[in-house]
Structure 1
Amino acid sequence: MPAVDRRKQVLDAASKSFALFGYKATTMEQVAKIANVGKGTIYTFFTNKDELFDEILLSAIMEMKRLAEREIRKDRDFFDNLYRVLDALLEFRSEHELFIKLSQEVRDIGTPKAHEGLTKVENGIVGYLKGIVENAISIGEIKPLDAQVVSFVMLKLYVALTTDFNQLHKPLSKEQIKEYMMVFLADGLKASS
């Protein structure tokens, strides 16, 4: 019979607890109970709740990067790949229970650690996009601009069109979002032929 991976058991339980209760309401006691281990077992792997939370976030960010990498197609242009990656990442983020709960927690009570967690996720996305942008710049597909700024603006624009806009207006279709992204970004970023 295979040995039980206690660390994985603790991580799975912590992920569930953070997704159900948020950062602030999650306790090490809850995690231990969900994992069916003693509280001391958690402390053999993680010094405190912050360290455990950071490990959960890192795992989610790595999962997002793997998801994004599956969306990149060498035979597609920069903008097509950009839409595919942004769409996949934001769909993942909007469906992932942890991110939903953290967003609610930030909105409702403004927990600094939950805000910090969401910021880490956003920075992970921007960092990934930066690599895509730098590659597109290096092959002359887009203008040579600051890749960090371009990546940040692309993410914020996409979030604005897919999420923020929907709070005040009828949601845009994926085709409309793609069209607006082209108008706002491609016409200004596309390298001249």
Structure 2
Amino acid sequence: MEEKRRLILEAAILCLEQFGFRGTTIERIAKFAHVSKSSIYECFANKEALIEAIVDDVLKDLLSESEKVCLPGQRLSEDIERTVDVMIALRARHRLLVGIYREARQSGVHGIMEMRQALEKGIMAYIEALVNRHIEQGEVFRLEPKLISFLIYRSYFQLIYDWEDIDQPLSPQQIKNALNAFAQ
């Protein structure tokens, strides 16, 4: 059952990347996964539950990898730099994040907006907890942890995806330098 679930999730990710939220159907996912529609419904109640499982998996993967590089004794700026490196490395594996971000912004479709919000809340909660951990270790910041987490998360996406609309893509170091402005 777990293998079938994994195949379905991978197929759903491929469909979402290729066809977007609107174009991804249970039928299409079943075809990509080489399973029946009823097999999908054995694992997931509906498309929304399937999407929620994808968001949970992507979020767990991102946060797990980030946690490995956020070591005790580092300053927040170091944690941000290392986490950005992780995000950049995982970006190829999680092209879905790009699609969610762009499709939600362009279409405003209810289901995709919920996916984006779930990802945002999870990632920002992690960043806020990271900032609070640094405060407990004695670091002082000019901004509140929740605001820092919001600015870092949103700025990351703006710098990665939207900056290219107005200028040449930024290097990873330029992105890290910009985000570290909030870690002071």
When the two structures are superposed, what TM-score results if normalisation uses the length of structure 2? 0.83
Q: Which residue does the alignment assign to 2:13?
A: 15
The question of whether the paired residues in 2 share the 8 Å contact of 1:19 and 1:99 is answered with no
TM-fit CA distance, 1:45: 1.7
C-alpha separation in 1, matches of 2:76 and 2:165: 29
C-alpha separation in 2, matches of 1:92 and 1:128: 17
Q: Which residue does the alignment assign to 1:130?
A: 128
Which runs of 5 or more residues in structure 1 are unaligned? none
TM-fit CA distance, 1:94: 6.5
Amino acid at match of 2:57: S
Confirm whether residue 34 of structure 1 aligns to residue 35 of structure 2. no
TM-fit CA distance, 1:80: 1.0
Measured at CA, do residues 4 and 132 of structure 1 come closer, stay the same or move farther in structure 2, by a change above 3 Å? Answer: closer
Measured at CA, do residues 164 and 75 of structure 1 come closer, stay the same or move farther in structure 2, by a change above 3 Å? Answer: same
Q: Which residue does the alignment assign to 2:59?
A: 61
Q: Which residue does the alignment assign to 1:114?
A: 112
| Residue among 67, 92, 95 paired with 2:90 | 92
Number of aligned positions between the proteins: 184
Q: Which residue does the alignment assign to 2:72?
A: 74
When Rg is computed on C-alpha atoms for both structures, the one with the higher figure is 1
TM-fit CA distance, 1:51: 0.7
Matches within 5 A, 1:145-164: 146-164=144-162
Which runs of 5 or more residues in structure 2 are unaligned? none
TM-fit CA distance, 1:64: 0.7
Amino acid at match of 2:45: T
TM-fit CA distance, 1:86: 3.0
Identity over aligned pairs, percent: 28
C-alpha separation in 2, matches of 1:12 and 1:162: 24
Matches within 5 A, 1:169-188: 169-182=167-180, 184-186=181-183
The question of whether the paired residues in 1 share the 8 Å contact of 2:63 and 2:126 is answered with yes
Greater shift in the superposed pair: 115-124 or 133-142? 115-124
1:120-168 superposed Cα distances (whole Å, 9 cap, x missing partner): 2122211111111011101111238532122112223344444433422
1:91-111 superposed Cα distances (whole Å, 9 cap, x missing partner): 534662322333343344332
Greater shift in the superposed pair: 148-157 or 56-65? 148-157
Measured at CA, do residues 15 and 73 of structure 1 come closer, stay the same or move farther in structure 2, by a change above 3 Å? Answer: same
Measured at CA, do residues 166 and 48 of structure 1 come closer, stay the same or move farther in structure 2, by a change above 3 Å? Answer: same
